[in-house]
Amino acid sequence: PAIQRMVRLMENEALKVQLVNTSEDDDTVFSFLGGVAPDMVTLMDRDGSVTEVWKPRGLPATYLIDPQGQIRYQVLGGREWDQPEYLAFLKALIKSTSASTKSKH
């Protein structure tokens, strides 16, 4: 999948990727991910608290969250995150987040 390739391409960046499952049970999720993304960190939203806070309007949804926990970007639907335009976007977002964090200190 594109997210896995993006993680490998961005391994030297200040980026942490975690998958959040909001609907399937553990066995379903981990059976699927074992085949396509075995090394991805997957969090289970068992009580719906993440869904309640983020309020996705559809799935899949992608949220980019800064170190302070603020949503910096969100998008519905799949994306080819390993493509040059998305990698450049992510690097620019990381840079702007890093600069704004430094200016607050």
What dotted CATH number matches 2-98? 3.40.30.10
Instruction: Give the pLDDT confidence of 2-19 residue by residue, as tens digits.
Output: 888 999 999 999 998 888
Domains of the chain, by residue range, sit at 2-98
Would you say 98 and 18 are in contact if contact means Cβ atoms under 8 Å apart? no
Would you say 72 and 97 are in contact if contact means Cβ atoms under 8 Å apart? yes
What's the angle, vertex CA 5, arms to CA 8 and CA 87, rounded to 5? Answer: 85
The pLDDT of residue 105 is 57
Type of residue at 75 = V
Instruction: Give the pLDDT confidence of 30-82 residue by residue, as tens digits.
Output: 888 877 777 788 889 999 999 899 888 888 889 999 888 889 999 999 899 99
